[in-house]
Structure 1
Amino acid sequence: MNKRKKPLKPREDARRGVASLEEAREWLKHRGIEDIECVVPDQAGVARGKMMPVSKFLAGPTMSMPGSILTQTITGDYPDDDADYQSDVADQDILFEPDFSTLTVVPWEGDPTAQLIHDGYHRDGRPVETAPRQVLRRMVELYHHQGWNPVVAPEIEFYLVRPNHDPDYQLEPPTGRSGRPEAARQSYSIAAINEFDDLFDDIYDFSEQQGLEIDTLIHEEGAAQMEINLLHGDPLILADQVFLFKRTIREAALRHDMYATFMAKPMSREPGSAMHIHQSVTDRETGRNIFSDEDGDPTPEFFAFIGGSQKYLPAVMCMLAPYVNSYRRLVRSSSAPVNTQWGYDNRTVGLRVPNSSPAGRRLENRLPSSDANPYLAIAASLACGYLGLMEGLKPGEPVTGSANSDEIDLPRSILEAVSLFEDCEELVEIFGKRFVSTYRAIKQAEYETFMQVISPWEREYLLLNV
């Protein structure tokens, strides 16, 4: 950051977020911003939107785009069996209003550029049911109606790989400063992180300029697999941060002739990548963690949250593991969980209770993969705990030994996962029929595209043997 001769007003000096259009005008002017990226997270968590000159944005900050951007598949296609979408054959525009609290710079752009996340609304003012950010906001409001604030802290794993210009070739670890790619497991290795010091310096610099707070950075189990942990806070703010972090890490990696990938299972002989979600709930009036009583012991609400997670997480796996590749991570006797068992400080279960003080008591959901849309994954995870609280559920007994070699009691494919989601009346009521229908159609369309590709396994074992 450039040194400044005199202190600025807090709203001008803020790296992230303002309160209004007028404050945004001052913020943009102070930084000499020329262009602004008006961004909308789609169902895959991909940034859609428009780039426009600041003058045009300030003249009319509400933008319109076709509603079909929220039904687009990861391949860029559109489902042909979404009954709700097909009923609107005109593909009318929906309105996207800026959330000024998300205003920040785009530090990797050559020209002074800002970015601003938008929310989707119908022309009559109703939130768009299929917009992922609105889905999460609706879930948070359910907690608010009960006098609670949900609190989350995501952990995101990713791989660094060599540039892969031909998708038929397998991915390989990149070369670090030693001139050698990693050839062995390097869990928590400082030396392995130091191999990519220049890259991580850029990641930290880009993050600081955007007002994004990194709690810790560690080297994970896989070759050139890293994990970034975020501080705990409001679910929507943390989902925004994951959304922006993914983009930031990819951009920083490209500067160093590497790819950063959040695929759940990018390399067959390496561990998968997860997005663990730590969750707690506080009382809105007192700020007290409702998972602990006055004596510091776990409350019935804590166990009900666990019980709801155990009961309903299999039915939301389509949002926690949203692609065909996601289910390659969920295999027995690996570092990934294969069921919804729970335990105290047990990393082999799907639901871990970390060691903490009573005020920090929380539940870590270890099922989501890093390819998940953070808005939908956090919404889905909170939905399960919410239903447990509403139904007063009780969990099974905690597991003390290894649980990831047990039977897999999660869906084994995206189609099975979508079917469970669509058939769960409690979840359909929470998420709404429109969202469920659209999400199912998108996932089915993506699966049909996947089925058009012949894999190396088929050529290896079927070509000359059947």
Structure 2
Amino acid sequence: MPDPSRPTKLDAKTRSKIKRDKPKRRTAEGGGSTAGRASPPKSRVLEAERPAYLERRRGVGSMAEAAEWLRVRGIEDLECITPDLAGVARGKMMPAKKFTGNTSLALPSALFMHTISGEYPDETGEFRYSPNDGDLKLVPDLSTLSEVPWESDATAQVICDLVDTAGAAVGYTPRNVLKRVLQLYEERGWQPIVAPEIEFYLVSKNVDPDYPLTPPIGRSGRQISGGQAYSIGGVNEFDELIDDIYHFSDRQGLEIDTLIHEDGAAQLEINLRHGDPIELADQVFMFKRTIREAALKHDIYATFMAKPIQGQPGSAMHIHQSVIDLKTGANVFSNDDGSPSQLFYHFIGGMQRYVPAALIMMAPYVNSYRRLTYGMSAPTNNAWGYDNRTTAFRIPSSDASSRRVENRLPSSDANPYLALAASLACGWLGMVNAVDPDQPTDRTVNEDGIISLPRGLLEAVAAFEAEEAFHEVLSREFVGTYAGIKRGEFETFMQVISPWEREFLLLNV
């Protein structure tokens, strides 16, 4: 298939014809001088001289380009954002002129050590706060610069990395955790390629958390029911909202591959094109903001909770993964003859061996484990199989160049940077340690009542801390910090009395 971004090559005969048919320049004397020739319209000259970066919807190469990009669009305000450990956008807003004026930006380090409820847990294990709560500096990644299309005033946004006052990367922040894992691949001459699939629910507004969530009213005037997997009618119920999602995404330079209705009531799924893990994590981070904003415009909520509605399927963030050789560009999961390589099997072996211990990075909340129960569509195992959706690690049907491993365990509530880092780290450990997988299965393995994964948050935290390999691959600093925060979140959860307790214990015990 020809690449539309590249000019078509012309054969010699066609070039000759163009040259013959090209009109000659007219001059005052009829010769070759251009003196006296009418100048093209000024607007056409400006258009021809306009730098290509000004036409990009996403990303520039330097601060000088950023200043011009912002000026041309009339942008006055800019959001400097970075994901915290929960994947929530934190940062600062400022005038665009101040941003391009080489302003130093900083956030307190404790901001990346609180729970999802905003509390600061006690120091436990290797979890420690900075004694002076010093600053972390925001370093803008100008390749992520884009508009904020839902704002009424012209506003832009840029994703930032975090460094300490000496300029060193802060090891426990999500983007840096993923970059650390990618560096391990690069040192081996490899480049991972990923493609996330993100499921989410549309729900009616719910201002009182004591009440269960319910599906919203669609254009038919009725609540959509479950069992609508791949239903075009189900998608059409929310035509205008989906149009806004596409419009907002296009304005930010985000590319949606496909959008479908999933099995749950008003449950949708967006699939992204495969690419670099940092770029795809950035896109998931931005898509979550985009989808929530589009839903609010239509007076409903979009939620990425793993299990938002009782009796309905949970929401996953499936991750397709392959690895290419940096020198040749070939998929290392396939041999030259197209057969599966040893690295392919070792990647699967690493997933089976290490993912159960890394599950806390893919299922990060108490609610996440409500999705991972038998009898539902989510896997409850660490099995693998060819085109088997009941396994944790599915091998989709493909040709040799597209051979990949789909990790079906992560839930959509996971921080995309951390879920990708955990999944790729497990595969890397399998490849460098030559971990062999067990035999693939073609059975239904998620309905036998057996759950071969951590069953809850504290069990997952304990398995995470106990895996010494993660202290090297992900950094001891990150493991200690993340585990401490998760223990703190469990303690805040334990302070809440659930409806189940009131229903079954109030008058029976």
The alignment's TM-score, normalised by the length of structure 2, stands at: 0.90
Deviations 1:110-160 (A, max 9, x none): 010000001010111210011100000111010000000000000000000
Measure the CA separation in 2 of the matches of 1:263 and 1:377.
15
Tell me what 1:419 maps to: 462
Measure the CA separation in 2 of the matches of 1:80 and 1:333.
37
Measure the CA separation in 2 of the matches of 1:309 and 1:61.
43
Measure the CA separation in 2 of the matches of 1:89 and 1:294.
55
* CA RMSD after TM alignment: 1.2
Of 344, 348, 368, which residue of structure 2 is paired with 1:302?
344
Residue correspondence of structure 1 range 157-196 to structure 2 within 5 A: 157-196=199-238
Residue correspondence of structure 1 range 198-213 to structure 2 within 5 A: 198-213=240-255
The reply on whether 1:432 has 2:475 as its aligned counterpart is yes
Q: CA deviation at 1:185?
A: 1.2
Taking only the aligned residue pairs, the percentage that are identical comes to: 59
Measure the CA separation in 1 of the matches of 2:292 and 2:508.
42
Q: CA deviation at 1:427?
A: 1.1
Measure the CA separation in 2 of the matches of 1:124 and 1:88.
15
Measure the CA separation in 1 of the matches of 2:108 and 2:311.
42
Q: CA deviation at 1:88?
A: 2.2
Measure the CA separation in 2 of the matches of 1:380 and 1:226.
25
Deviates more, 1:363-372 or 1:396-405: 396-405
Tell me what 2:505 maps to: 462
Tell me what 1:117 maps to: 159
Residue correspondence of structure 1 range 27-426 to structure 2 within 5 A: 27-82=69-124, 86=128, 88-406=130-448, 407-426=450-469
The question of whether the paired residues in 2 share the 8 Å contact of 1:150 and 1:234 is answered with yes
Runs of 5+ unmatched residues, structure 2: 1-42
Measure the CA separation in 1 of the matches of 2:126 and 2:471.
15
Runs of 5+ unmatched residues, structure 1: none
Measure the CA separation in 1 of the matches of 2:128 and 2:358.
25
The question of whether the paired residues in 2 share the 8 Å contact of 1:159 and 1:261 is answered with yes
Q: CA deviation at 1:219?
A: 0.3
Tell me what 1:445 maps to: 488
Q: CA deviation at 1:87?
A: 5.3
Matched to 1:413, the amino acid is G
Measure the CA separation in 2 of the matches of 1:29 and 1:360.
42
Measure the CA separation in 1 of the matches of 2:373 and 2:485.
25
Measure the CA separation in 1 of the matches of 2:280 and 2:455.
29
The question of whether the paired residues in 1 share the 8 Å contact of 2:379 and 2:446 is answered with yes
Q: CA deviation at 1:9?
A: 2.1
The question of whether the paired residues in 1 share the 8 Å contact of 2:113 and 2:129 is answered with no
**SS at structure 1 position matched to 2:367:** helix
Measure the CA separation in 1 of the matches of 2:295 and 2:497.
30
Matched to 2:180, the amino acid is R
Deviations 1:25-53 (A, max 9, x none): 11111111100000010000000000000
Measure the CA separation in 1 of the matches of 2:178 and 2:126.
21
Tell me what 2:16 maps to: none
Matched to 1:207, the amino acid is S
Matched to 2:156, the amino acid is A
Tell me what 2:17 maps to: none
Deviations 1:196-216 (A, max 9, x none): 000000000000000001000
- Runs of 4 or more off by more than 6 Å in structure 1? none
Q: CA deviation at 1:86?
A: 4.2
Matched to 1:417, the amino acid is A
Matched to 2:478, the amino acid is F
Deviations 1:38-90 (A, max 9, x none): 00100000000000001111112441110111112100111221576645221
Measure the CA separation in 1 of the matches of 2:168 and 2:223.
52
Matched to 1:398, the amino acid is P
Tell me what 2:34 maps to: none
Measure the CA separation in 2 of the matches of 1:217 and 1:462.
43
Measure the CA separation in 2 of the matches of 1:82 and 1:132.
21
Matched to 2:294, the amino acid is A
Measure the CA separation in 2 of the matches of 1:442 and 1:123.
24
**SS at structure 1 position matched to 2:213:** coil
Q: 1:61 to 1:236 in 2, by over 3 A?
A: farther
Measure the CA separation in 2 of the matches of 1:340 and 1:24.
46
**SS at structure 2 position matched to 1:280:** strand
Measure the CA separation in 1 of the matches of 2:422 and 2:491.
24
Q: Which has the larger radius of gyration?
A: 2
Measure the CA separation in 1 of the matches of 2:213 and 2:275.
35
Deviations 1:352-377 (A, max 9, x none): 00011100000000000000000000
The question of whether the paired residues in 1 share the 8 Å contact of 2:58 and 2:146 is answered with yes
Q: CA deviation at 1:223?
A: 0.3
Deviations 1:258-288 (A, max 9, x none): 1000000000110000000000000001100
**SS at structure 1 position matched to 2:421:** helix
Q: CA deviation at 1:390?
A: 0.7
Q: CA deviation at 1:405?
A: 1.5
Measure the CA separation in 2 of the matches of 1:88 and 1:243.
27
Matched to 2:119, the amino acid is D
Measure the CA separation in 1 of the matches of 2:167 and 2:385.
44
The question of whether the paired residues in 2 share the 8 Å contact of 1:136 and 1:375 is answered with yes
Measure the CA separation in 1 of the matches of 2:492 and 2:508.
26
Matched to 2:496, the amino acid is V
